[in-house]
Amino acid sequence: MGAVSTPETRSKVFCECGAEKELHYAKCGEWDCPVCWEAKHEAREAAKREAERLRALRRGVGAKFYDADMRRCDDKIAAVAAVKRWVADPAGIILVHGKCGRGKTYLASAAKKEFNRRDVLSQFICEDEIFLRIKQSFEKNAKKTEYEVYESFAHSYPLIIDDAGVEKTSEFTLSVWERIIGRRYRENYPTMITSNLNIDELAARMGFRITERIRESKMIYEYTGENRRAR
């Protein structure tokens, strides 16, 4: 802090960083270092950017899977190796199906985190959340229109849908899949789907037209191995 001085008697005041301080009348005559102020400002901005990056990292991914890491997924499992290839070069529709507790959600979360790490925009969402968002749009005073919700899944960057095929089949669920997967298929947008159901069982949930489109990418993998929850 500099000595009190009038403009006539004022001598130069230097900061510890070596830069000359400036007198700020707006701040009751405090001496401020513009270099340090800029550095502090930049640090605050960097902290904000980091917080936003972390939010993006976690968006959609459950707290249990924040630490999911591709490097901890075993390449010897064909589904894992395939997802790693897809993440490296996302194209087409990849389906990972398998029994409970094999690690599908972990793998899907790790894929999302890998995209974030590489600054590749992507979206991770669970099936139930998709249906919820669309149903919400039907409500009076809904924040988003039905059209807008569908558009939020029609982006060109990778979309990861976890746990597809849980919701009971209805005309509504069939039309949702037709619109979301059908659209992404037509536009050739990269999509990853995980499910407890295999492709034949999924046909009853998504409609045969959609599962035929999924088959076309030739990226249908069973996540084999033991039930990790039963260990």
Ligand X SMILES: Nc1ncnc2c1ncn2[C@@H]1O[C@H](COP(=O)(O)OP(=O)(O)OP(=O)(O)O)[C@@H](O)[C@H]1O
For residue 13, the one-letter residue type is V
The residues binding ligand X (CB under 6 A) are 72-73, 98, 100-106, 163, 196, 228-229
Give me the DSSP letters along 129-157.
HHHHHHHHHTSTT-SS-HHHHHHTT--SS
Q: List binders of Zn ion among 32-91 (CB under 5 A).
A: 33, 35-36
State the minimum distance, in angstroms, from the CB of residue 78 to Mg ion: 18
Q: How far apart are CA 136 and CA 143, in angstroms?
A: 9
| Structural contact between residues 105 and 53, judged by C-beta atoms closer than 8 angstroms | no
State the minimum distance, in angstroms, from the CB of residue 121 to Mg ion: 23
Nearer to Mg ion, 154 or 166 (CB): 166
Nearer to Zn ion, 17 or 46 (CB): 17
The residues binding Mg ion (CB under 5 A) are 104-105
Interaction of residue 13 with Zn ion, rule CB under 5 A: no
Extended strands (E) in 77-198: 93-97, 123-126, 159-164, 191-195
The item of Mg ion, ligand X, Zn ion, none sharing an interface with residue 102, based on CB under 5 to 8 Å by kind, is ligand X
The residue from 10, 14, 17, 48 that contacts Zn ion (CB under 5 A) is: 17
Nearer to ligand X, 60 or 98 (CB): 98
| Structural contact between residues 83 and 107, judged by C-beta atoms closer than 8 angstroms | yes
